[in-house]
């Protein structure tokens, strides 16, 4: 996607700049006030059926925003971070369907997904993404279907963080 290309180009410019850097590549971040998990929780609360793009089996690796923020701050004063690129994700790669179920259990609402073929959603996004009320762009759908997982072992090791499972993390702020 254009998003991925521009992120890659920015990383390459930073690496070639001669500046001291550390690059963080987070998966979906969650925490109080986040846009993604809170949007899904609101959908589950308000609708009898929750739309899911495609089969919902694409995997995400949500990471607690507090861990990412702590690592950012710690990295500013740690020489060993310079020149490193960190893949940042939560401790588990979970299917989108499972992510929805975890949110539903946390807010004590039944999740009844309705799977919409990906090509239908992409077509709708191409037409409707111009309108602020449409929640997804075609590129966001592509990225969602590709999944977002990584090996974040180095991230947790270097910053001395204990990974927080998704269901436990969201239970700290979703009601």
Q: What confidence score (pLDDT) does residue 156 get?
A: 97
Task: Give the three-class secondary structure for 163.
Answer: coil
**46 exposed, middle or buried (CB, 10 Å; 0-12, 13-18, 19+)?**
exposed
Beta bridge partners of residue 24, listed in sequence order = 86
Alpha helices for the chain (secondary structure H): 2-16, 36-46, 65-76, 96-107, 118-128, 138-146, 153-159, 166-171
Check residue 167 and report its DSSP letter: H
Q: How far is CA 10 from the centre of its chain?
A: 20
Per-residue pLDDT of the chain (175 residues; tens, 9 = 90+): 888 899 999 999 999 999 999 999 999 999 999 999 999 999 999 987 999 999 999 999 999 999 999 999 999 999 999 999 999 999 999 999 999 999 999 999 999 999 999 999 888 888 887 888 777 788 888 888 888 999 999 999 999 999 999 999 999 999 8
pTM of the model: 0.88
Residue 107 and residue 170 in contact, taking contact as beta carbons nearer than 8 Å: no
């Amino acid at each position: 996607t254009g998003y991925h290309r521009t992120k890659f180009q920015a990383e390459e410019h930073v690496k070639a700049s001669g500046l001291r850097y550390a690059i963080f590549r987070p998966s979906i971040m969650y925490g109080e006030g986040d846009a993604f998990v809170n949007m899904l929780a609101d959908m589950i609360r308000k609708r009898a059926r929750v739309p899911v793009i495609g089969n919902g089996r694409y995997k995400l690796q949500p990471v607690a925003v507090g861990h990412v923020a702590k690592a950012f701050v710690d990295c500013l004063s740690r020489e060993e971070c310079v020149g490193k690129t960190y893949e940042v994700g939560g401790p588990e790669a979970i299917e989108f369907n499972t992510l929805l179920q975890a949110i539903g259990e946390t807010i004590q609402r039944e999740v009844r997904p309705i799977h919409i073929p990906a090509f239908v959603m992409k077509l709708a996004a191409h037409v409707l993404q111009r309108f602020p009320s449409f929640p997804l762009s075609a590129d966001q759908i592509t990225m969602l279907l590709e999944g977002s997982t990584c090996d974040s072992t180095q991230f947790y090791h270097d910053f001395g963080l204990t990974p927080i499972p998704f269901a436990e993390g969201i239970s700290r702020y979703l009601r």
